[in-house]
Structures are given as C-alpha cells and as structure tokens.
A and B are shown apart, each in its own frame.
Chain A
Amino acid sequence: MADGKPTESSMDKVWKFFTSLKLAIFVIIILAVASIIGTIIEQNQPLEKYRQFYSDGTIRLFESLNLFDMYHSWWFLLLLVLLTVNLSCCTLDRLPRTVKVVRNPKTTLDENLEKSLAHVGRWKKKGGMEGLADTYKTAMGSAFARPRVTENSGTLHLYAEKGVVSRFGVYVTHLSIIIIFIGAIIGNVFGFKGFANIVEGQSVRTIPTRGGTNQVDLGFAVRCNKFRVDFYPTGQPKEYSSDLSVIEGGREVLRKRIEVNDPLQYKGIWFYQSSYGSAGAASATVAVNSPEGGRMETFSLAPGRKVDVPGYGKVSGIDYQTDFQGLGPALLVVLEKPGQPPAEFWLLQAYPNFDRQRGDTRYLSFAGVDQIFYTGLQVARDPGVNIVWVGCTLMVIGIMIAFFMSHQRLWVRLSRGGDGRVEVVLAGSTHRNRLAFEKKFEKIQADMRAVEA
C-alpha cells in the first residue's frame, strides 16, 4: 500500500470539508439567499404571467436555472442534501468525543486542568482533611450535586457535575432535522395530494393528482350528501361545511360533517374542506294546496321548465327575488290553464297562504329556493407526516436542552500545606451560560469558605 497515505489524507480532506462549520454556514446562507429569490420571483405561475414581468431572454435564463419552480429544483434539493450530509458528518465527528467526555469525566483536579479553568478559588482551613472533605461533600451535595471522592497520594479530590444531558441537545436538534427530511421524503414518495369537486348527492372513487396527469383509486367512495354555507351579515362567508359519507362495499362506513379546519380521515386518507361553488342553477320548491288548506303535492321548479299539475294547469317560474317589496323571498310564477290566458302572480315564502286570495280551486305556496352546490375537497395521504411531527417535537426539546441547560462541573482539591493547614482549591467550569454560572460559583465558594469543619 504505497499510495495508502496520500489517499488517506485526501479522504481526511473530504471528511474535514463535510464536518466543517464553514460548510454549514455556507449552505445556510445560500439556502437563505435562494429562498429570498424564490419569494421575489413568484413560483409556479403560468407563462403568460411571467411574460408581463420579464423579457423572453430573462424567462429562458430563469427557466434554465429552474427559478420558476425553485424549491423543487435539483440544485435546491442538492443544497438540502448537502446540509443533511454536513449535519450527519458533524454528528459522527463530534458525538464520540462528547460521549468520551461524559463517560470518562476528569474527577481529579491537576495543575494543568486548574490553569485551564475560568473559575478558581483558593483558601486554607485548619483541621483534618477527611472531616473537611465530608463537610464539603455535604455542602456541594445540597448546593450543587453529590460529588465523587477520589484519593490520590495524600490529596483528596471531590468532583460533581450537573446537566450532562445538555451536551446532547445539539445532537437531538440536528437529528430532528434529518428526521423531518426523512418524513418529508416518505410523504413525497408514498403519499399523494389531489383535489376533488363533488356535486351534492354524487360520489367519487378516484382522485386526480399531479395536475390531472394521474388518477389515484381511493379503494372506497366518498359521497357529498349535503353542502351548507353560512354568511356573516356583511356577506362574507362565515363557515362552510359538507356532510360526507364514506361508502365501502356498498355500505356507508363513516359519516361526518367536515368544515374548514375540521377534516375527515379514513384509512389514512384525509379530506379537507377547501372551496365550494354552485353546480347549475337553483330550483324552487312549490306546494299545491286545496282551498281548505290540505297539502296535495310538492314539486321542484327549475328555471325554464314547465311542471304539469294534473287536474289544474301548467306552472313555470319566471322570476325570483330575495326581498320582494319588503316581504322577503318571493317567486313569480305563470299558470297556464287549458283554454284560458296565462296568469302571472307572486308567491311569498314568508306567507304560505298568500295565494288563497286568488280564490281558485287550488292555491300554491312557495317553500324556498334550493341551490345545488359542489364541494371542493383537498384530498391527501401523507404516510410521513407523523415522522415530521416527531422531528418537530424533538427539535424544540433539543433546542431547549442545548440552550437552557448547561453542563456544569465543580472540582475540589484538598491537600496538606506546609504550615499544617489544609489547602483548598475550588474550581468550576460550564460549557454554556457563563454569567449565570459565575454567580452560582461565587455563592458556593462563599458558603464553603464559611463552613466550619
């Protein structure tokens, strides 16, 4: 293996490159800048729209750089891959060292360590070393954490630590990003997103996805039984909802009224209330009554259609007003009886007996207008979404551990001085939040100096 060494060093270089913070910062900055560009150039718009803003040359340039669908372009995904590789390499590079520090803590305070620490206090005490060690052990235990005692050629060492877990916060956070990416990839590969418009009373079994180029078979049917929309007095929609049934094997297996922010889920497929619209013109419901007031029949009156009422005449609706002369909704109908000129008259929804005044053999009443709607449903299956939520939860936990906790360590060394007194050295370190630790250290030092053995 003569060329073993150069290969190793170039491998080292590659490894150094992928574990460097510079790469991380570089990727983060490029991601941020690219994301900004993506919010300035509107994404996924029709070509005509781009023509209004850009010249043909600019459009060609942007297209070759995938700037119109940037977040799904190969180079943006490459940046995300680079970030993931960087994160993974940094973890593989640093985690073993952290584990080592945590598993083999330095439990004795030697001169080198003492010099490297920022917080050090020294004092002398009269009395026996063991007794003093016991006192300090209790003091540290109550003010900080229970120390371990090590004896080393006539010197006593006390070591205590707190918040070891905070060393791992950064790994939890980084792992969470990778988990989120994994969840996103699973969702993209094994899931689908589509849209369905279902007219009231009708059902669908397949959902078009990817802009209609693909059809997904649901394996069951979804029927829209009824759609409802309520408005604020201002005319703005207040809420809209669809009464949906899931039909599988010819049976209704699930029924739910969904609204915006309250979807239906069946077998991992979610149906979200997204939009609505009218499916054709409205029809009016009209009832035929005997002069005594008995209801004889009701029929539905669609615009431009004549309905034959047996033994009476033909009825058609020619106008509808939501508020007729302050009397509320009203329908203008035409009645054609054999051998008579057509008669035109209004029916008032709020006054069902209004038509009695004609004094005919029948009178009509208007029960309201029925608008047939279609409901617009967003349909999605995302088997990765729960993995994404696990990642998100871990991310928040990881950040909290990493920044609100710190790995704090205290050492005490007791040795017999030349004057017969015990020389005490207290030293401390923290890997984060130094100012807070400084105060704590000063307090512990003051307390320990004050106690009498």
Chain B
Amino acid sequence: MLNVRLFDVTTLLFGAASVNYVAALYGKRETLARIGTWICIVAAVVSTAALGVRWAESYRMGIGRIPVTNLYESLVFFAWSVNLFYLVVEWKYKSRTFGAFVIPIAFGTMLFAFTNESSIQPLVPALQSYWLHAHVITCFVGYAAFAVSAGVAIMYLMKAKREERKETGGVVALFPSTKVLDELVYKAIVWGFPFLTAGIITGAAWANYAWGTYWSWDPKETWSLIVWLVYAAFLHARVTRGWHGRRAAILSIVGFVATIFCYLGVNLVLSGLHSYGGA
C-alpha cells in the first residue's frame, strides 16, 4: 500500500532528522540542525500526505474512515502530532536544540509502528461514530504537547545540573536559558491540559451515546484520569506553590510516563473497552 510506504519514508526522515539534531549539538554545527529542520518539514509533508492517502485508500476499500483507529494508525498519528507541535515550538522559540530531544520521540514511535500490523482493517460498529474524530484528535494533541514538555524537561535537568556544577561549555551551552526551558515545560503542559480534558470529555460523551454510560472506570478511562490528575497537580504546584525548575521538570517527566502508559500500556498490559486499539 502506498500509504505504508510513505510512512516508511517518514520513519527514515525522522531518523535522519534525529541524527542531524544530535550531531548538531555535539558537533556544534548549526548547519546540521538547519538541515534537521528541513527534514522535519519534509517529514510533515510526507506524513500528512500518507494520512490523506490512507484515508482515501480506506474509501477505495469500501470501509472509509479516518486513519486513527488501530495501534499502527494511532502511532503514526502521534508521531505526526509530535512533529508538528515541535515545529511550532522551534519556530516560536527560535532554537533548534529542542529537536535532539523531541524528534527522537517521533522516530521511536514510528519504529514501533513499523513492527505493528499496518493493513487497513474494517471498523467494528462501536467505532463508527463522528465522536471518534473529536476524541482522537484532542487526545493526541494533548499527548504531543506532553511529549514536547517532557523532552524540554530533560534539557532543563541537563542544563541545570551543569550550571549547578559551574561548568561551562558542552552541549548544554547551546540550549536556551534555564528560564526559557522552565517556561516551555510549563507552557507545553498548559497547552496539553485543556486538550487532554477535552479528549476525556469527548470520550465520555461518545461512551454515553454508544452505551449509555459516560464513565465506567474502564482501565483506559481511569488511566486518562490519572494522567489528568498528575498534570492538575503540576499546574497547582506551579501556580500556587511556585514549583519551578527541577521539581517541575521531574513532574513533567512523570506525567509523560503516565501518558505513555495510558496510551500504550493500558492496551498492551490491561484489558478493557479500548483493547481493540491494541489489536
């Protein structure tokens, strides 16, 4: 299928971009990072085209539906979201160093997708709903924002540690200031949180319309609530207790680990209504 080949190309592009970003950091070559950015832009175009082609191909197979309905599709959609969110951040904050910490997340996701069944499967009746679109898109924008936040949080921890030891130079010298990094860790969560909230709410609305229950403590629902609680705790600690820097960065990473578990762990480890997402 053409779409799968395009996604394979996307995987290679993310790999190349990751190498460029990391090499730019260690080799101190801005040119490499600039190439990385261009590769990411190309990857954005190719993966967007691939999603469109997959959508069209599903229609040609007589099962037309948005390409976000099984594990393979959700993984490529996640990588697509992370890449776009990253490009916005890079452009807004005028620093390409983030790429070395965020684009490998997209690359790893695509590699994982590569090992999964990639054919277009028909939809079970429960998934045939317009709520699917709103639910998946809001959730994944949220996930992508949390991924960016966690990537930047790692950068913050690296830079803060260096500064604590009063060491200069090294890769962290190229990073934006700790103040900017800290702010971005927070900002990305501020963007992700309302999307996650909307994702949980659209999921509840959909469940109510399909089954007559908006909340049934299904493991996926419960884990989304756990993720929500972690980021709610982050925002409260930040706004009312002034949690900045190290503690905030660690909490952001904890939140992203919970997000990953909610997204993948629940399907792979636990059982429940969303188990078809892992098939």
A residues within 8 Å of B by Cβ?
Answer: 21, 24-25, 28-29, 31-32, 35-36, 38-40, 42-43, 71, 184, 193, 232, 234, 236-240, 259-261, 263, 270, 272-274, 378-380, 382, 385, 388-389, 392, 395-396, 399-400, 403-404, 432, 435
Contact = CB atoms under 8 A, between A and B. Distances in A.
Interface in B191-216: 193-194, 197-198, 201, 204-205, 208-215
A392 B201 contact: yes
A35 B208 contact: no
Which 4 residue pairs spanning A and B have beta carbons closest together? A380-B212, A260-B125, A261-B129, A39-B219
14 contacts: A24-B236, A25-B233, A39-B222, A42-B271, A71-B217, A234-B122, A260-B125, A380-B212, A385-B214, A392-B205, A396-B197, A396-B201, A403-B190, A435-B183
B45 interface: no
B124 A236 contact: yes
A263 B125 contact: no
Nearest to B180: A435
* B interface residue count range (under 10 / 10 to 19 / 20 to 34 / 35 or more): 35 or more
B171 to A, nearest CB: 24
Contacts of A35: 222-223, 225-226, 229
A261 to B, nearest CB: 4
Contact of B211 (A238, A272, A403): A272
Contacts of B229: 28-29, 31-32, 35
Nearest to A269: B212
B63 A232 contact: yes
B10 to A, nearest CB: 28
B29 to A, nearest CB: 29
B168 interface: no
Interface in B174-194: 180, 183, 190, 193-194
B212 A263 contact: yes
A39 B211 contact: no
- Highest count of chain B CB atoms <10 Å: which of A21, A260, A379: A260
B120 to A, nearest CB: 12
B232 interface: yes
A35 B122 CA distance: 33
B115 interface: no
Contacts of B126: 260-261
A76 to B, nearest CB: 10
Nearest to A260: B125
A36 B212 contact: no
A26 B122 CA distance: 45
A273 B239 CA distance: 46
Contact of B266 (A39, A234, A238): A39
B24 to A, nearest CB: 25
B160 to A, nearest CB: 18
Interface in B34-88: 63
Nearest to B223: A39
Contacts of A403: 190, 193-194, 235
Nearest to A261: B129
Interface string B240-264: 1100000000000000000000000
Given A32-B229, A272-B212, A396-B198, A261 B128 contact: yes
A24 B235 CA distance: 12
Nearest to A76: B217
Given A32-B230, A260-B210, A38 B222 contact: yes
B270 interface: yes
B123 to A, nearest CB: 8
A263 B193 contact: no
B237 interface: yes
Contacts of B215: 184
B213 A193 contact: yes
B194 A21 contact: no
Given A260-B210, A396-B194, A396-B201, A25 B237 contact: yes
Contacts of B193: 399, 403
- Highest count of chain B CB atoms <10 Å: which of A21, A35, A71, A432: A35
Contact of B125 (A21, A261, A389): A261
Nearest to A184: B215
B159 to A, nearest CB: 17
B270 A39 contact: yes
Contacts of A240: 125
A393 to B, nearest CB: 8
B240 A21 contact: yes
Nearest to A377: B212
Given A261-B125, A392-B201, A399-B197, 8 more contacts: A21-B241, A28-B236, A238-B125, A239-B125, A240-B125, A261-B126, A272-B210, A379-B212
Nearest to B219: A39
Contacts of A28: 229, 232-233, 236
Contact of A400 (B131, B194, B217): B194
A400 B241 CA distance: 20
B210 A238 contact: no
A263 B209 contact: yes
- Highest count of chain A CB atoms <10 Å: which of B122, B129, B180, B271: B122
A236 B63 CA distance: 12
A261 B223 CA distance: 24
A391 to B, nearest CB: 9
B211 A274 contact: yes
A392 B212 contact: no
Interface string B151-163: 0000000000000
A31 B236 CA distance: 16
